[in-house]
Structure 1
């Protein structure tokens, strides 16, 4: 599941006439940098959700083996968006990936797949240390214990990639909600884990992030 429905308001004028996932970074659309990660990880079914400037995204993705989850009526945030897309994704755990970031080093989806243990995990989040983070302001999101379970607070940043068991989404009454709701339940149950990314990561959700990401890629 590739999240691409947001308004991209932090991008200012750059998203006045195009959706954020189509902003070029190092000569290629942001969404294509994310899609590049799926093939080497063996992903055969990709779903992209759309809302803002959806027709442009559809045109960009036309001809590829990608399903569109249409949120044109209203944007559903990450949790609601993933739940709506489940019929397109099929049963079982799913990768989710943000479309406003660039990674270097190990393929994040391959890293997650290698560490995934479906017997004990309901979520496995990709995290980064401060020294590997580019273009992001603010503190961390999570901590890891000695068994790699995550807890809220700490100096590790969520890098917008994970493997997730989505069944708990059906227990949430709201239509529009963040995946944080599901994470909190999984953290409380002791089934939410994390691993550290072996490489660099840049937040390209704001204009300054474009230059930072291009320098990182170079």
Structure 2
């Protein structure tokens, strides 16, 4: 699942008339770059959630075999959005991807798939803060020797994960962030992480676009 429902507030004025996933970086939209990662990792079916300027995203994806999970009234956040999309995704562990980042090096979804184990409820792709281009703020997580995550530390959530959708039933709210579920899984020792060895850029504001393009062109 690709999360594409956000308002893109930090990316204004570019997002005044264009949803952030359709912003081009090095000649290719962020959404298409995310779809490329999923395709190359063998993911499927693919679902994209939409809200802000969702008709533009739907038109961009028309005829490409991608299902749309629209959130027309209220943005459901990552947890609520994923739960709404489950009828389109099924009950198996789900790869999720934020499109507003650029990756170089190994495919993060393929790496997550290779590292996934049955004793995990979530497996997050993490990036060292020192290599997190255009990241604003502190780190998110630390890893122990067994690969379990804890809050704090100098690792940033990179925006790619595998998660068991049945654990969403633990949270009754309609609108909620996956952070709430992660906290529960961390407490249970069921949330794990691996570290991306390549480059990564948070394309969250206009000034990050040239930084991402520099990373891509190496």
> Which category describes the TM-score, using the shorter chain as reference length?
over 0.9
State the SS of the aligned residue for 1:210: helix
State the SS of the aligned residue for 2:52: coil
> Structure 2: 5+ residue runs without aligned partners?
none
Residue correspondence of structure 1 range 1-218 to structure 2 within 5 A:
1-118=1-118, 120-218=119-217
Kept after mapping to 1: 8 A contact 2:76/2:176: yes
> Structure 1: 5+ residue runs without aligned partners?
none
* 1:184-218: CA deviation from partner (whole Å, max 9, x where unpaired): 11101000000000201000011111010000001
| Farther off after superposition, 158-167 or 123-132 | 123-132
TM-score, normalised via structure 1 length? 0.98
* 1:120-172: CA deviation from partner (whole Å, max 9, x where unpaired): 10000000112321111111100000100000000000000000012121221
User: Aligned partners of 2:129 and 2:7: how far apart in 1?
Assistant: 27
Deviation at 1:44, TM superposition (A): 2.3
* 1:32-68: CA deviation from partner (whole Å, max 9, x where unpaired): 1111101121112100000000110000001101000
User: Aligned partners of 2:47 and 2:27: how far apart in 1?
Assistant: 24
**CA RMSD of the aligned region, Å?**
0.7
Size of the aligned set, in residue pairs, is 217
User: Aligned partners of 2:67 and 2:124: how far apart in 1?
Assistant: 24
